[in-house]
Structure 1
Amino acid sequence: MIKYTLEKINWLAIVALLIMVLGLFSCSTPEESGKLKVVTTTTMLTDLVKNIGGEVVEVEGLMGAGVDPHLYKASEGDVSKLFGADIIFYSGLHLEGKLVDVFEKMKVRGKETIALGETLDKNQLIGSKLFASNYDPHVWFNIQFFKQFADKVTQILSEADPENAELFKENNTVYQKKLDELEVEVEQIIETLPKSKRILVTAHDAFNYFGKRYGFEVVGLQGISTATEAGVQDVQRLSDFIIEHEVKAIFIESSVPRRTIEALQAAVLSKNHEVAIGGSLYSDALGNPGTEEGTYIGMFKYNVKTIVNALR
Structure 2
Amino acid sequence: MKVIQKIGVALVVLICFGSCKNQNQNQNGKLQVVTTTTMITDLAKQIGGEAIEVKGLMGAGVDPHLYKASAGDVTKLTQADVVFYNGLHLEGKLVDVFEKMQQQTNTVALSQAIDKKKLIGSEYFASNFDPHIWFNIGYWKLITQQLTKELCSLDPDNQKLFKKNEERYLAQLDELEQQIKTKIATLPKDKRILVTAHDAFNYFGEAYGFQVVGLQGLSTATEAGVQDVQNLAQFIIDKRVKAIFIESSVPKRTIEALQKAVQAEGFEVAIGGTLYSDALGNPGTSEGNYLGMFTYNVNTIVDALK
Same fold, TM exceeding 0.5? yes
Shift of 1:28: 8.0
Aligned partner of residue 218 in structure 1, secondary structure: strand
Q: Could you tell me how far apart the structure 2 residues matched to 1:133 and 1:259 are?
A: 29
1:67-86 equivalent positions in 2, closer than 5 A: 67-86=62-81
The answer to whether 1:110 aligns with 2:96 is: no
Report the equivalent of 1:231: 225
Pairs within 5 Å for 1:71-150: 71-107=66-102, 109-150=103-144
1:210 corresponds to = 204
Aligned match of 1:221: 215
Q: Match of 1:290, as an amino acid?
A: G
Specify every segment of 5 or more residues in structure 2 that has no aligned partner in the other structure, as ranges. none
Shift of 1:132: 1.8
- Quick one: distance in 2 between partners of 1:96 and 1:270? 37
Closer/same/farther in 2, CA of residues 270 and 279 from structure 1, 3 Å limit? same
Shift in Å at residue 110 of structure 1? Answer: 3.2
Q: What CA deviation, in whole Å up to 9, does each residue of 1:264-306 have, x standing for no partner?
A: 0000011011100000000000000000000000000000000
Matched to 1:265, the amino acid is: Q
Partner of 1:158: 152
Matched residues in 1 for 2:168 and 2:7: separation? Answer: 43
Query: Which residue of structure 2 lines up, in the alignment, with residue 17 of structure 1?
Result: 12
Distance 1:29 1:154 in 2: 25
The alpha carbon displacement at 1:34 in A equals 1.2
Asked if structure 2 preserves the Cα contact closer than 8 Å seen for 1:27 and 1:85, the reply is no
- Is 1:285 aligned to residue 279 of structure 2? yes
User: Aligned partners of 1:165 and 1:266: how far apart in 2?
Assistant: 55
Tell me how far 1:14 sits from its aligned partner.
2.6
Distance change (3 Å), C-alpha of 1:260 and 1:93: same
CA contact (8 A) 1:30 1:36 kept: no
- Cα 1:31–1:234 change in 2 (3 A) is closer
SS at match of 2:107: strand
CA contact (8 A) 1:287 1:295 kept: yes
* Aligned-residue offset at 1:29: 10
1:276 equivalent among 270, 275, 278: 270
Asked if 1 retains the 8 angstrom alpha-carbon contact of 2:26 and 2:32, the reply is: no
Give the whole-Å Cα distance in 2 for the aligned partners of 1:124 and 1:290. Answer: 34
Q: Which amino acid aligns with 1:271?
A: E
Gaps of 5+ in 1: none
Deviation at 1:111, TM superposition (A): 1.1
1:101–1:31 Cα change, 3 Å: closer
Counterpart among 25, 47, 51 of residue 52 in structure 1:
47
- Match of residue 161 from structure 2: 167
2:31 to 28, 32, 36: 36
Partner of 1:64: 59
Check the 8 A contact 2:24/2:79 in 1, yes or no: no
> Which secondary structure does the structure 2 equivalent of 1:222 belong to?
coil
> Residues 26-60 of structure 1, C-alpha deviation per residue, up to 9 Å, x if partnerless?
35899954100000000000000000000010000
Contact 2:35 2:57 in 1 (8 A): yes
CA contact 1:138–1:207 (8 Å) conserved in 2: yes
Letter in 2 for 1:234: D
- 1:18 Cα deviation (Å)? 1.2
Secondary structure at the aligned position of 2:127 is classed as coil
Q: Give TM-score scaled by structure 1 length.
A: 0.95
| Aligned partner (choices 293, 298, 303) of residue 304 of structure 1 | 298
Question: For the aligned residues, what is the CA RMSD?
Answer: 1.4
Relative to 1, partners in 2 of residues 1:28 and 1:281: Cα closer, same or farther, differing over 3 Å?
A: farther
Contact 1:27 1:86 in 2 (8 A): no
- 2:37 and 2:58 in contact (8 A); partners too: yes
Please tell me the residue identity of whatever aligns with 2:125: F
